[in-house]
A and B are shown apart, each in its own frame.
Chain A
Amino acid sequence: MGESQGLSALLQKKRADIITRWAGILVDSYPSGAHEFLSNKKNRFANPVGYTIAKEIAAMVDGLINRQDIDSFSSSLDKIMRIRTVQDFKPSEALAFVYQLKGVIRECLDESLSDAEVRAGLEELDAFTDALGLLAFDIYVGCKEQLYQLRVDEVKRNTYMLVKRAKMLVEGPEGDQGSRNLV
């Protein structure tokens, strides 16, 4: 990632602000009765969603500041997207927060936007955000595919002995082993 040093320094200065706003966007995407609960990030066991949002958003903002490689974002993005995939969001709603980063950063850097160097850096950052969006899309689809796979696996497991009895499985150690590895 190649945006300018100047932008990195600016982002570093606004780090807390960016994290708060970006995490806020995620929290706001939930029904209003849950905001306070999800904003409380202190107890990871009582509130895994809020905790994950707070932790992974911070990690990603740090990644942006330190201009890390896009691959290093996949773990954080996976943790957030894995949750959003199984919640009541349309795909666009689940992904939107990534693109909303652009707006968040502009709001936070408001006064510096006239600076040409910053603007050039922002363009690069936008391109990077788009790439993040694509990565998030991959993860989203991956999770959905996994859910369908889990459904199939579960049906197979639930009726494992039935199928076995129906002699639909190849007998013998190898075939047996293979089907049991469904677990």
Chain B
Amino acid sequence: MAKTPSPQELWNIDHKPPKKWWMDLPLNIRPGNFSYPAKPQILKELDMPNPRPWSPLDEDWKLPPNWKEIVLEGIRERLDKFRTFKVFMDICVRCGACADKCHFFIGSGDPRNMPVLRAELLRSIYRGEFTKAGKLLGRFGGARELTVDVIKEWFHYFYQCTECRRCSVFCPYGIDTAEITMLGREILNLLGLNINWIMEPVRNCFKIGNHLGIQPHSLKDMVDFFIDDIEEVTGVRIEVPFMKKGAEVLFVTPSGDYFADPGTYTFMGYLMLFHEIGLDYTMSYYAAEGGNFGLFSSNENMKRLNAKIYAEAKRLGVKWILGGECGHMWRVINQFMDTMNGPADFLEVPKSPITGTVFENARSTKMVHITEFTSDLIKHGKLNLDPSRNDHLKVTFHDSCNPVRAMGLLEEPRYVIKNVCNNFYEMPEDTIREKTFCCGSGSGLNNDEFMEMRMRGGLPRANAVQYVHDKHDVNTLACICAIDRAALTTLMNYWVPDVTVYGVHELVANALVMKGEKKRTTDLRQMPIPGMEDAEDV
């Protein structure tokens, strides 16, 4: 009979994980830390390789028989196409400056979430298969053999990176893990290893025009709801032009803004602003999506989706394009759009019809960020604002990764917020601006099956919010990203439940005094504004 263990032994059950080097660590795939694979039908519709049903929990991932050849050829091709790939594979000195900068590492303690090791997953194969030194020295030279387990590891960890680029800020050589993850995902895509939360929006956006796949007539109905809601709050009936040829401006925003709470209020905010300043604009059902999940699968998919914006601007004959609040959308617009689908020589250099300001910084791409546009309006005193309507909100601002680290949009949103809110508090210095922490759900990982990982990854952000909540009683987290609005709401519910997430233009619209409006007693969420509940209509 087995000896009954002593209480001492039972208390001291060793839960320590094995002390192994990363190359020897087993992969721990479990529900909550991976995203579901793309449905075969979706891959077929996009002409993507190896559509099949499979699960990361299966032993057999049903890779094509010549998978190894495909991967090696995929790497070779990308080495020839991307200088970044070659340079980033060759020059890392493993100084460790990036190691503790990743929100997933900070929140999980999983060493393979250190940016340097995430890159080494790929770099070790590069050395082993593409460099003489690596072939010669093997594991000793940091090289290893390409096996199915390596592919599984890639899938796991390249879909555990939100491409936020925080590590890149600290790297002495500017090695950008987002770039490595993007290339890693491109290679995985060649084997049909992708996730549904990315590929389904890509398909929907491509075929129908927006991530959720809402057809144009349904979208029209939804916008009618917004018009009703705006009238209920403000007493002003507005019009929302769609497919209007010859309008001055084409407005493009992520579809999350018209489908998902609380983005919907931000969307109402844009509409109210445009109405108030009398902007001659139009939206489109064809190019109804500012977001671009192609960015999270391959540069080709990114281009396919992005092409619609210029095409539609041309068809409608607008002068320039205005873009809504979205993070990764602005990475695409600022760093890829003109290169991929330009030149936009059929458009004019953007000029605000209200203030006459010429947006020289968008001279070539011809697309302006809405906070650039609105801060110009405010600067020129074109808006009648009553920030006291937001007095019950103590606001802090979350810098979204892409507008900061792929653009440098720092002061514009702050300027707008400070003009529409009286109580603004910054989070600690190390957690904002170029050092901002990701929401933990970027790059197509904002799916619900990935919830545990997202809560871990968002912990550093939530922790900084907690700090200003404790210190300044902050109850409002403003942001300029559709994924943030959805993901931070969930994140706050878990970590800092007293804080509510707002889009910047929702705050603008709350403060915006419109011509002919009734006395506002509620905000856009139709929640009473403290101190104004009992006011009578004027």
Contact = CB atoms under 8 A, between A and B. Distances in A.
A47 B106 contact: yes
Interface string B235-269: 00000000000000000000010111110100000
Contact of B428 (A38, A45, A102, A154): A45
A161 B111 contact: no
B256 to A, nearest CB: 8
A82 B495 contact: yes
Given A93-B15, A155-B448, A177-B526, A165 B109 contact: no
Given A161-B225, A161-B258, A46 B108 contact: no
Given A34-B110, A150-B494, A165-B222, A157 B526 contact: no
A158 interface: yes
A153 interface: yes
A6 interface: no
Interface residues of A, number: 52
A112 interface: no
Interface string A26-45: 00111111100110000111
A63 interface: no
Given A147-B494, A151-B448, A32 B19 contact: yes
B205 to A, nearest CB: 15
Contacts of B7: 102
B430 A182 contact: no
A96 B105 contact: no
A138 interface: no
Interface in A57-88: 82-83, 85-88
Given A32-B17, A182-B261, A88 B494 contact: no
Nearest to A155: B448
B489 A31 contact: no
B444 to A, nearest CB: 14
A51 to B, nearest CB: 8
A13 B19 CA distance: 33
26 contacts: A29-B15, A32-B19, A33-B109, A38-B109, A46-B106, A49-B459, A83-B107, A83-B456, A85-B452, A86-B32, A87-B452, A88-B30, A99-B10, A102-B11, A143-B494, A146-B493, A159-B259, A160-B260, A160-B264, A161-B260, A161-B264, A165-B218, A165-B221, A180-B525, A183-B262, A183-B489
B22 to A, nearest CB: 7
A183 B263 CA distance: 11
Given A38-B109, A147-B494, A31 B25 contact: yes
Interface in B442-464: 448-449, 451-453, 455-456, 459-460, 463-464
A121 to B, nearest CB: 16
Interface string A160-183: 111011000000010011001011
B13 interface: yes
The 7 closest A-B pairs by CB, nearest first: A33-B111, A34-B109, A30-B109, A103-B11, A48-B463, A151-B448, A86-B455
Given A150-B490, A158-B486, A159-B260, A103 B30 contact: no
Interface string B102-144: 0001111111001001000000000000000000000000000
B50 interface: no
Per DSSP, chain B at the interface is: helix
A14 interface: no
A146 B10 CA distance: 31
A165 to B, nearest CB: 5
Interface in A113-167: 143, 146-147, 150-151, 153-155, 157-162, 164-165
B76 to A, nearest CB: 31
B121 to A, nearest CB: 14
B467 A45 contact: yes
Given A28-B15, A87-B456, A161 B259 contact: yes
B463 A158 contact: no
